[in-house]
Amino acid sequence: MSQPIVLAYSGGLDTSFLVPWLKEQYQRPIITVTVDTGGIDAAAARTLEERALALGASGATWPALSALRRRRAGDAGSKNRADGA
């Protein structure tokens, strides 16, 4: 099997167009990656994954950044103290 193409996937028109286009043009598997920055909920994330797979992606990943967000929320108190607040 050939090397996959990894596509940063938002689910919008441009990246949704690219999934089947890249697959056809390069004859390689497409893996979509969407990063959870806190802008959508779990149901919307599942919809993105389903859309990518329906468009022909071989796989779709949804790396969660929730641990990073939790850490930043914990650091917010110390940041405020450092700023003199």
Structure tokens at 54: 């329906």
* 85 vs 22, more confident: 22
User: CA-CA distance, 51 to 11, in Å (whole number)?
Assistant: 7
Residue 36 banded pLDDT, cuts 50, 70, 90 = confident
Mean pLDDT of 11-15: 96
pLDDT of residue 75: 63
Cα within 13 Å of Cα(1), Cβ side: 7
The token pair that represents 30 in the structure block? 């497409």
CB 33 within 8 A of CB 63: yes
CA–CA dist 67, 73 (Å, integer): 10
